[in-house]
Structure 1
Amino acid sequence: MRGSSLLPGLCFLLSLSGVVAQKTKGTCTHCPQNAFCVNATHCTCNHGYRSESKEKYFSYRFERCEDVDECKPPISVYCGVNAECQNIIGSFYCHCIDGYKLLSGKAQFNNSNENTCQKITPSKTTNSTKEMQQVVEDIESHLTGKTVLGVERNFTSTVTAFLQKVESDVLKTALKAPDQKIQKVQYSTVAVETQVVTDNCSKRVILSLNAQVNSMKIHCSDVIQRNIKGTSAVAFVSYSSLGNIINASFFEEMNEKDQVYLNSQVVSAAIEPKKNTSLSQPVILNFQHMKVKPGVKKIFCVYWKDTKEGGRWSKDGCALRQANKTHTICSSTHLSSFAVLMALHGQEEDPALTVITYVGLSLSLLCLLLAALTFLLCKAIQNTSTSLHLQLSLCLFLAHLLFLTAIDRTENKVLCAIIAGALHYLYLASFTWMLLEGLHLFLTARNLTVVNYSSINRLMKWLMFPVGYGVPAVIVAISAASRPHLYGTPDRCWLHLDQKFIWAFLGPVCAIICVNFVFFVMVFWILKRKLSSLNSEVSTIRNVKMLTLKATAQLFILGCTWFLGLLQVGPAARVMAYLFTIINSLQGVFIFLVYCLLSQQVQKWFGEIIKSKSESEAYTLSSRFGADSKPSEAK
């Protein structure tokens, strides 16, 4: 386990248990279609194709070469202003968008250097085009002249006002020429695309806008805002240098341990008229990274938030959809100015924590398996309490097994999301069975007997399975239905921290721990009163003491140790990380120790098994000795 992954507390990782197919290697004469031989030993895909395994050179005879879509991330060929990329099998080409054509008259070209796309416009739209160009030129002059920075002590207010004015000017200019549906203008530091909607979204459901190396998709219904009649417009603006002014230092969650930096251009999205600012569907933003750096720990999709102090980068309403080395896709529930922040690893992984986790969980798996077999086979202890122990052991066993067999395998995003959901369910089920354990212990203490309490048995049998497995299923189903894209992160198959989605796990866990603590206090109060009223009833005193031991053990095993995960802050963070890892990875060992090895009935059962085995071995030896002794006596 990674040491850094423990810091949020209670956040176990798990990824899909990968089934690695055994690949039969072949010779270079068996290169697949769209591939050629290299050095008579390996194959490589033709230009415009890549292998299914993503390996450049391969010898697996059943490998396939797939077409690379150069027009989509991570490549996203840029064809220049007023042009689009079109993918074809094995290659691509650029062409002018509707309403534009090449000066040469050709239908296509190869790259942005060959772009000569010119607008095919009637004379009446020339003035509106010039007006939009003039607006963008004014924006460019402000940016290149650095007048945005101003002389104020708090220049973020000036930046906020500047961004709002740019959006307003661009949209108003676009609405002056409603017959010119799309306008694109690009300069060295700023690029703008506007689209005007006059047909009540009868032709397009999704509007796509591009500016420099970034793009945006927004539902047309959000642009016209349904109840607005008339002409509406949407604008997408990209600033190539504004990030140098409002950099990552203005991030409201800046962590000194992490090296946070802005790794995209700043973009703005706005609509006009602004009657309703809420969106029915999130707007999708595609950013191209400015730098590719290894060791990225976190990726933040942020927007520029207008505050009393002037402005800050904030994550509210923004979510990370997808990310790779060159691009990040974000979504937002509102329109504003956006960017992508990244944080490098603040600390090295602790190999000692990894060793402790693997050793501890391996021991726990063994002990949980032995405990489950004991609960199933030892008839002397089979009752409602044993059934609860068995279900808890099974849930923890499956969760720990998944954790150990495949960690941090996030290659397949769909399967990673499924595994994150499965892990979410298994750990929530484990905590729910812990809650039922606490409830059962409280009811047992109230009745002051350990076994044969029929009313408790009937209640627990009625509650057990619907609550133990049903409640976690409902929580996971609601979480998955509301935010399915937040299952699975770029580096682990677990819940995203974005939009506080992690509380879909932490919320129920904290509630269960608190309730179990209340049960513990009530059990101790009941047992203290019972002990003070007893005289010399030895069996009852023994039962009460055993119940006290179980109450203490359950409080320790079934909850309180998890609070160590929340204490991993400040100077004691490292110590708490070690304590959290050691104690929780050995949870299965504690369960086997308390519920099996310390049980007199289980000890007696183990003794009978050992005794019968030793008697069987003795009988076998004596039979062999008797058979072998006859010949010697004959001599």
Structure 2
Amino acid sequence: MGGPHGGPFLLFHVLCFLLTLSEVGSQNSKACALRCPSNSSCVNGTACRCAPGFISFSGEIFTDPLESCDDINECGPPSPVYCGPSADCQNTEGGYYCTCSPGYEPVSGAMIFQNESENTCRDVDECQHRPRVCKGRSVCINTEGNYTCQCPPGLEFSPEDPRHCTDVNECTSGKKPCHSSTHCLNSVGSYECRCRPGWKPIAGSPNGPNNTVCEDVDECSSGQHQCHNSTVCFNTVGSHTCHCREGWEPKHGLKDKQKDTICKEISFPAWTAPPGIKSRSLSAFFERVQKMSRDFKPAMAKKSMQDLVGSVDDLLKNSGDLESLDQSSKHVTVTHLLSGLEQILRTLAKAMPKGSFTYRSLDNTGETTSSPAQPPRTPSHTRSPRSLPPLFSELSLVVQEQGKGNVTVGQSHARMLLDWAVAAAAEESGPTVVGILSSQNMKKLLANASLKLDSEKLKETYKSPVRGAKVTLLSAVSSVFLSNTNTEKLDSNVSFAFALHEQPELKPRQELICAFWKKDSNGNGSWATTGCWKMGRGNGSITCQCSHLSSFAILMAHYDVEDPKLALITKVGLALSLACLLLCILTFLLVGTRCRLVAVLLHYCFLAAFCWMSLEGVELYFLVVRVFQGQGLRKLWLCLIGYGVPLIIVGISAGAYSKGYGREKFCWLNFEGGFLWSFVGPVTFIVLGNAIIFVITVWKLTQKFSEINPDIKKLKKARVLTITAIAQLFVLGCTWVFGLLLFDPESWVLSYIFSILNCLQGFFLFVLYCLLNKKVREEYRKWACMVAGNKYSEFATTTSGSGSSHNQTQALRPSESGM
């Protein structure tokens, strides 16, 4: 710096520094007085300017310090920037730019531009550039700036994915493109109309197009069936079935009228004699049954049934040693016969041709009729039973395909109405069998059969328990057999109408009932009524309904109704006798304490007698004094007080001083220690109380006699009051006052009076309550006439006594005794 050029160079720097200081001083003199907001700059000391792309509420320049500069949306109104076709304006902070619209791209490669002149946007082919934009079998079709996915014919978009095509099932779409004789087969994007199995195209018709028309193939005549040689082929529309031949039935586990049906020939069911029953007649019968079984042919089913029914008639008509069997063996035989007949007739009926069949077994003759099934009508047995032919057995059955509605099977003895659905077996598809077998002679083996009563229902009817019944059979025994073997609980009730062989006149406790024969676990049986009830009676028949099936009959039952009062008396008497016998045994066993025991019993019995006298006084008080204020105590309370209070007193006395019972000379209470007051105290209280009631009663009766009839004669009034007073003295035990006044045992006057009055207390009660009472005397007179054998005229007695009946409403009332 000390060279020749150092001075000028330094001077130049000094001058620059001074100029700079002067310029800074000038600017500071013009500095902004305000602080401008963001996106703005200071203009002078009072104004600010918004940056390009921003504007304030007042404009580009503003002076209000509270204003702000906001972004200008060049892409929005009022004058948006136009970027050219297929382009979109994009606003930014303080500016904007242009881009191509979706589905377009710039040719120049620049993704953003500023004006229309720079726009090079053109359409993009999405189908070419993005081949997987449409899924599955859908087809991509390019459009201006976009694309669409379309499905080929026979396909449609999936609801889950609108870009994925799935097959359209024309067969299930409801359009029904095929003829009704064909079967529609859907394929991907198409369908075919082909003949169903068992059908073929008609002549000249193809098999497959939508105009295909088919016709049924007769497999039976063409030999295309697969039926077993034990069946017969039956053609059906579009198929065929294999039916068992007449007299044949499906093998176990198979059904009839199926393509795989295999049948076997119907055989006579095995039936042997009941075990344990020894009878020549019964053995001969089952030998005949075994011969029928060996000789049986399905074509002989009708004759076999006739022979079987006739054999049963012969057995029951010429029962022989069956009559000598005991009652239980007879009932076992009946049960075995009824159940076996149902099974065999059901089986043999399946071998018969369809239709109805009736066989009547007359006396030494037979009659057979066949007729079609008849609709329900009034039973033919509504005529008088006396006009019925001398039938022994009658068989009626109907064999036909299961139908709808009801079926009626009728004969002279009984008529049945039931639903076909009840008759048909659930597991079988063959013809349905409905039949009734009625037998009159079956009642020979049913004599004295027991009847299980519906005791609860009869108890409601008679208001008393009902014991065993004696029954009389009034109709034939009718056994019902169906294809359906499960008949213990039917889906619908079955109606019956049974003809009566006689018209009984029902007496009290007699009733006509619908009964069925019920088998028990031992092979025995009895009549029962559960599940059957009577609907009505008229024209010589009884109508019944049952919820199950069995062997039925109409019975007349005579019940023994138990008298509850008599039963109560018997039970109480027996219980009392047992108790007394027990006391006797204890008395004899306890010889050392027998006197003390007798004293205890005397103490209790005397106190009980006096307690009942006190209760009589209370009842008399309610009857005479408080006429409209109550009706006295109930019987339960009377018994509890009459027998319970003495028991409590004796118990307390014996517990407090057990040695007080028994004396040296006689068995009574001991006088020591005042123990006698355990008897005298209660007796004194009762006698004095009854004496007060006696006085009040006599006084009240005197007032009532005056109010009722003031003109009554004094002598008659005195006599009535005297008799009433004497009666009340004995009833209330007031005569025991003489015993309380007997302080001196040597006072023979009081002793005699006390003894006579109290020893003859029962006699005086009999005289006052019975001999002096007109109603009782009238009953005595009736009994005397009956014993003497004279006819007693109740009408005359009633007439002669009608004048006094007004005053005799209750013969045994204490207040009316002897009036």
Q: TM-score, normalised by structure 2?
A: 0.25
User: Which of these two proteins has the greater Rg computed from alpha carbons?
Assistant: 2
Q: Between the two structures, name the one with larger relative contact order (CA 8 Å, sep ≥ 6).
A: 1
More helix per residue: 1 or 2?
A: 1
